[in-house]
Chain A
Amino acid sequence: MFNLIVFFSSFSAFVWAGPKCTDLSKEEWVNQENFQAQLIKEGYKIKKFKVTKGNCYEIYGWNKDSEKIEIYFNPANSKIVKQKKW
């Protein structure tokens, strides 16, 4: 039983995990507030901001065309790594 739990936990950690965005340490990341402020300036509406286990900045929200989006960014250079449209 214990083995099963370990198996499922590690399975989900590897298989279901979101993208990995950078190996750089947190000191080299763009400041979180500045990052979000920049997105808002570009026309994004942010519903939820997260720092993921895979070292990404992730937002749930709407882009400037009011499309519902979920985007993973590289926190070191603010580039989009992965985007889910709804």
Chain B
Amino acid sequence: MLNKRNGDPIKPFSIRVLHLILVVSLFLLVFVFYDGDKIHRFLGYAPLLVFALRSLWALIDKNKKSLKSLSSFPILANLTHFSIWFFVLLAGLSGHMMTIDRFWGEDWVENFHDYSVKALMLLTVIHLTGVFYDSFRKKRPTWRYIFY
């Protein structure tokens, strides 16, 4: 379902909420509680939960319009979104592995976590660039449709 307000395509409420939780939890994990301490190990599961709920939504949502939607480069945008989910999964998985005694402290697992997160940050920049490029090109506030 695609809501409209003054002709603007606004994302459904549940998708906006999930996106916001993803953004906030990633921000906190990367810039505030990055130290692998208790808060990090708790909050680290939030992006995974968002992914699970978002996938569930995609599966039960029959109207595909809400998935396609806004981008002027659908393929590039979809590729970016897909990659973001992929690295969210990898970061969450490697993070969880660090809590298992067998993988705890192993350099390759720590590097795995480290580089998944770096890839995620890079993709976030690409994602934002794409959104603002679309806003500019189409002269519409694309960035806003995911917030309000």
Taking Cβ atoms with an 8 Å cutoff, the residues of A that contact B are 4-5, 8, 12, 15-16, 47-48, 50, 60, 70, 84, 86
Contact = CB atoms under 8 A, between A and B. Distances in A.
A60 B36 CA distance: 13
Interface of B: 31, 34-37, 99, 101, 104-107, 114, 118, 121-122, 125
B34 A48 contact: no
B104 A12 contact: no
A8 B122 contact: yes
A84 B37 contact: yes
Contact of B104 (A16, A47, A50): A47
Nearest to B36: A84
B106 A48 contact: yes
A60 B99 CA distance: 12
Contact of A15 (B34, B114, B122): B34
B87 to A, nearest CB: 13
A8 B101 CA distance: 30
A44 to B, nearest CB: 14
A12 B122 contact: no
B132 to A, nearest CB: 15
Which among B31, B99, B105, B114 has the greatest number of chain A C-beta atoms within 10 A? Answer: B105
Contacts of B118: 8, 12
**Residue among A5, A16, A47, A50 facing the most chain B CB atoms (10 A cut-off):** A16
Contacts of A16: 34, 114
